[in-house]
Chains A and B, each alone.
Chain A
């Protein structure tokens, strides 16, 4: 990969004559080793698309059916592959259609470079056709954004965009390029950006904090680790595993930390948060030391902050100084990339096995197993449960699949029960909770990991928010396996209405179309299952089919996801029913 990159840079660095801004952009993308772009053309980005046509041997463009589909696909690609996702969209509505995905990428720290076309610079501010001030609109939801009005700015700005998107805590960058800058001529030399003077991607680690943290860890009787996506973004999975295994500390995960440590690891004690596991939530309020690793104490994780881990000392391993003491006051903050800080602390911590403390997790696990999990995975009633669908998928994939989820009940159930043996395998919209994320994200994930099974698990509500991307699947033959868990409801909202709004099911019931017919309209093999006896065979058929496949599973209409920490309650007030 490195070699190709150097070759590409060498090829692109010496262009003696002037080239157009659009060609300069293509050469920048090649120099950044971009092989795939998700996008949608339109008036203000036509010069770039024209250039793309000439470079189609080098850069593959995936035409989605909506710009939101393009950006979610780029997110799925970026997250599964550990690369920057690239998106093209035109000005005006093209650009505004990206905003949901940009906000999603910002809150979930996904590296993206979004290129939007803009009206010619002499028309800026004139309310020209398809003009919108995307710089102002995207400012609060981008890590960085910039408008280019001259072709000569392109190489430097694009280099900076990729550097900012991928370095430190990653995030989305938007570059808006006026049409005249795309047409305009420029000299071209490309220098990869390696520093921006006002930007410090990774803070220095104070060795004293490592020592203080190690001391707390060595003294703790009942320590608990909670790891988040920082472990994945920092490529710190091995470092985490070594740290967990040496210290013998039970390790729980946030929804975005899922898959950083194999789910069957003996010290993996499950998910924290609103629909997390019973033991790690309950014991958050009994541990004497909470070790937060690359996570940000989201409100869905902490519940009521006034009663969150008050008895515990807290250590925070974190790359972003703005996250320290933002929601939870910590005793020791270890700044830096967790890959390095976890490695550096390893010699300072004692080997341990917290046998008695682990036994407390086991005790609570048994309660959850009996009261919740057993019914979820092996229900006795007539209707199918979401949990048993995930269980059967696990049985068939053995934890090797990439699971892409949308938002709602199915997401919580999938994250609770899906088995993972490899990192970067759980792709979901965590922070923003974007319904419609999964179908396009799965397309990107499949293209990012073509050799892996990619299964999108989606609710009937979220599926219809970006259902048009079936067209992209049809056109690209992306071998995405789509499983829609259909309860004819916006299930999570309905669950809240049942529990907290006296069963007033205000606008949550869906009259759904024939999903199988729709899939077949796109020539995607499709099946609908509503009987337990047919489920396993249908999953097998789906996995054995070459190319994409659509499976609708009719599930129990009014099942609820438990355990549950009601909004604003304490983590230890977690309900099992």
Chain B
């Protein structure tokens, strides 16, 4: 079975220590986590982990069951890329020196990048999109002296329903 990218959504109680418990399930199987984001979910007091890993479908099925087995995990799901709408956000800090060059302005437009802050010495740009999108802007900005770059983990909503409220009501 071929390894592929899976996005795992884990709905949990908001308890200290749970991050360790969730990640240790991947560690135990020697699976590298490509990205991990923890945030509130649509239900108050329920947190949502969004975890991206490369592995086989057979392995991810077992991992989801192991995740669900944890006492404070409400439910876990895995999805393939075509089952989710996802974004990552990247921030770029560049020197103000080239800010008013028309090339750079065109670049921002082309990549639909937003300016977050302008300071005398530097300017901060943000861009949301896929890994490829943010990577493309990264490549384009390198010649202008990229001072800092950071990309968030993936966040995703799924096309299929997940019905967490119903599960919690049961």
A-B residue pair count with CB separations less than 8 angstroms = 46
Residue B13 at the chain A interface, CB threshold 8 Å:
yes
Q: Which of B17, B20, B69, B168 contacts A321 (CB 8 A)?
A: B69
Chain A residues lying within 8 Å of B28, measured Cβ to Cβ, are: 140
**Contacts A136-B20, A139-B20 hold; do A144 and B69 have CB atoms under 8 A apart?**
no
Chain A residues lying within 8 Å of B12, measured Cβ to Cβ, are: 198
Main secondary structure of the interface of A (DSSP, over half): mixed
Residue B71 at the chain A interface, CB threshold 8 Å:
yes
Chain A residues lying within 8 Å of B61, measured Cβ to Cβ, are: 325
Tell me the complex Cα distance, A94–B13, Å: 30
- Would B73 and A198 count as touching, CB distance under 8 A? yes
Tell me the complex Cα distance, A232–B21, Å: 28
- Would A164 and B68 count as touching, CB distance under 8 A? no
Q: Which of B21, B62, B168 contacts A322 (CB 8 A)?
A: B62
Closest to B74 in A: A198
Tell me the complex Cα distance, A322–B28, Å: 15
Residue B163 at the chain A interface, CB threshold 8 Å:
no
Closest to A149 in B: B16
User: Chain A's nearest CB lies how many Å from the CB of B77?
Assistant: 14
Tell me the complex Cα distance, A409–B17, Å: 40
Closest to A324 in B: B65
- Would B66 and A322 count as touching, CB distance under 8 A? yes
Name, among A198, A321, A326, the residue most crowded by chain B CB atoms within 10 Å (CB to CB): A198
Residue A268 at the chain B interface, CB threshold 8 Å:
no
Tell me the complex Cα distance, A326–B72, Å: 22
Chain A residues lying within 8 Å of B13, measured Cβ to Cβ, are: 198
User: Interface code B60-82, partner A: CB below 8 Å = 1, 0 otherwise?
Assistant: 01100110110111100000000
User: Chain A's nearest CB lies how many Å from the CB of B68?
Assistant: 7
- Would A199 and B72 count as touching, CB distance under 8 A? yes
Chain B residues lying within 8 Å of A145, measured Cβ to Cβ, are: 17
Main secondary structure of the interface of B (DSSP, over half): helix
- Would A322 and B72 count as touching, CB distance under 8 A? no
- Would B71 and A135 count as touching, CB distance under 8 A? no
Closest to B169 in A: A197
Chain A residues lying within 8 Å of B66, measured Cβ to Cβ, are: 322
User: Chain B's nearest CB lies how many Å from the CB of A192?
Assistant: 17
Chain B residues lying within 8 Å of A147, measured Cβ to Cβ, are: 16-17
- Would A320 and B21 count as touching, CB distance under 8 A? no
Chain B residues lying within 8 Å of A144, measured Cβ to Cβ, are: 71-72
Residue B24 at the chain A interface, CB threshold 8 Å:
yes
- Would A139 and B24 count as touching, CB distance under 8 A? yes
Closest to A321 in B: B65
Tell me the complex Cα distance, A321–B66, Å: 9
Closest to A201 in B: B71
Tell me the complex Cα distance, A326–B24, Å: 18
**Contacts A139-B17, A321-B65 hold; do A196 and B24 have CB atoms under 8 A apart?**
no
- Would A322 and B71 count as touching, CB distance under 8 A? no
Residue A316 at the chain B interface, CB threshold 8 Å:
no
Chain B residues lying within 8 Å of A135, measured Cβ to Cβ, are: 17, 20
User: Chain B's nearest CB lies how many Å from the CB of A279?
Assistant: 32
- Would A322 and B69 count as touching, CB distance under 8 A? yes
User: Chain A's nearest CB lies how many Å from the CB of B9?
Assistant: 15
| Number of B positions contacting A (CB below 8 A) | 20
Tell me the complex Cα distance, A140–B23, Å: 10
Residue A143 at the chain B interface, CB threshold 8 Å:
yes
Residue A146 at the chain B interface, CB threshold 8 Å:
yes
Name, among B15, B16, B17, B66, the residue most crowded by chain A CB atoms within 10 Å (CB to CB): B17
Chain B residues lying within 8 Å of A146, measured Cβ to Cβ, are: 15, 17
Closest to B58 in A: A325
Chain A residues lying within 8 Å of B16, measured Cβ to Cβ, are: 147
- Would A143 and B71 count as touching, CB distance under 8 A? yes
Tell me the complex Cα distance, A430–B156, Å: 42
User: Interface code B1-33, partner A: CB below 8 Å = 1, 0 otherwise?
Assistant: 000000000001101110011001000100000
- Would A198 and B65 count as touching, CB distance under 8 A? no
Name, among B13, B28, B62, B71, the residue most crowded by chain A CB atoms within 10 Å (CB to CB): B71
Closest to A164 in B: B71
Chain B residues lying within 8 Å of A325, measured Cβ to Cβ, are: 61-62
- Would A198 and B69 count as touching, CB distance under 8 A? no
User: Interface code B71-99, partner A: CB below 8 Å = 1, 0 otherwise?
Assistant: 11110000000000000000000000000
- Would B68 and A322 count as touching, CB distance under 8 A? yes
Which residues in chain A, 286-342, are within 8 Å of chain B measured between CB atoms? 320-322, 324-326
Q: Which of B24, B65, B74, B168 contacts A140 (CB 8 A)?
A: B24
Name, among A143, A146, A197, A320, the residue most crowded by chain B CB atoms within 10 Å (CB to CB): A197
Tell me the complex Cα distance, A144–B21, Å: 9
- Would B71 and A199 count as touching, CB distance under 8 A? yes
Which residues in chain A, 178-216, are within 8 Å of chain B measured between CB atoms? 196-199
User: Chain A's nearest CB lies how many Å from the CB of B27?
Assistant: 8
Tell me the complex Cα distance, A326–B21, Å: 20
Q: Which of A136, A198, A324 contacts B71 (CB 8 A)?
A: A198
Chain A residues lying within 8 Å of B69, measured Cβ to Cβ, are: 320-322
Chain A residues lying within 8 Å of B74, measured Cβ to Cβ, are: 197-198
User: Chain A's nearest CB lies how many Å from the CB of B168?
Assistant: 6
- Would A326 and B20 count as touching, CB distance under 8 A? no
User: Interface code B131-159, partner A: CB below 8 Å = 1, 0 otherwise?
Assistant: 00000000000000000000000000000
User: Interface code A6-34, partner B: CB below 8 Å = 1, 0 otherwise?
Assistant: 00000000000000000000000000000
User: Chain A's nearest CB lies how many Å from the CB of B29?
Assistant: 11
Which residues in chain B, 95-139, are within 8 Å of chain A measured between CB atoms? none
Tell me the complex Cα distance, A325–B65, Å: 10
**Contacts A139-B17, A198-B12, A198-B13 hold; do A321 and B68 have CB atoms under 8 A apart?**
yes
**Contacts A139-B24, A140-B24 hold; do A198 and B72 have CB atoms under 8 A apart?**
yes
Tell me the complex Cα distance, A147–B24, Å: 18
User: Chain A's nearest CB lies how many Å from the CB of B38?
Assistant: 16
29 sample A-B contacts, Cβ–Cβ < 8 Å, listed by A number? A135-B20, A136-B20, A139-B24, A140-B21, A140-B24, A140-B28, A143-B71, A144-B71, A144-B72, A145-B17, A146-B15, A146-B17, A147-B16, A164-B71, A196-B71, A197-B168, A198-B71, A199-B71, A320-B69, A321-B65, A321-B69, A322-B62, A322-B66, A322-B68, A324-B65, A325-B61, A325-B62, A326-B62, A326-B65
Which 10 residue pairs are nearest across A and B when measured between Cβ atoms?
A322-B65, A198-B74, A144-B71, A140-B24, A199-B71, A322-B69, A139-B20, A139-B21, A322-B66, A198-B72
B residues touching A (Cβ–Cβ < 8 Å)?
12-13, 15-17, 20-21, 24, 28, 61-62, 65-66, 68-69, 71-74, 168
